[in-house]
Amino acid sequence: MGRIVGFFCRWCGYTAADLAGVARRPLPVELVVVRVPCTGRVDPELVLEALQQGAAGVLVVGCRRGDCHYVSGNLEAEKRFKLLRLLLCQLGMEGRFQLQLISPSEVERLVEAAWQMVFQLRQGMPGRG
């Protein structure tokens, strides 16, 4: 299985990944984390580019609704990724993308989401996007 590219917001996703390390809750080795300032800065074209370049999946993790440090970046991302999901669904690739909105303390949620994505991709099963 190829890599999973994780675009993690520095305030929530990246902090949760950091805390997962502190708590000794391993994230999959397939996951390569890219720290971004906000999910609002992750263009869907970037996701498509990562998949086109050989990534097995893309996991975008940002702040919960109401917690974005740039007010509405995560809401904008949700809107844009809704369209991306439709496109990936049409292409039979819906399991290869996931957006999670979490708080920095939701380490278990992040760890579970990452492992679930790995298991789904290993099995070649489409999952929730």
Distance separating alpha carbons of residues 21 and 87, to the nearest angstrom: 34
Output the smallest distance, CB 2 to ligand FES, in A. 26
* Shortest Å, Cβ 65 to ligand FES: 10
CB 97 within 8 A of CB 57: yes
Query: Residues interacting with ligand FES, by CB under 6 A?
Result: 9, 11-12, 38-40, 62-63, 68-70, 73-74
Question: Which residue number, 26 or 66, has a Cβ lying nearer to ligand FES?
Answer: 66
CB of 127 to ligand FES, least distance (A): 22
C-beta atoms surrounding 119 within 10 Å? 12
- Locate 109 and state its tokens: 């949620």
Length of the chain: 129
For residues 59 and 121, which CB has a smaller minimum distance to ligand FES in the complex? Answer: 59
Is-contact 50 58, C-beta < 8 A? yes
Q: Which is nearer to ligand FES, 25 or 35 (CB)?
A: 35
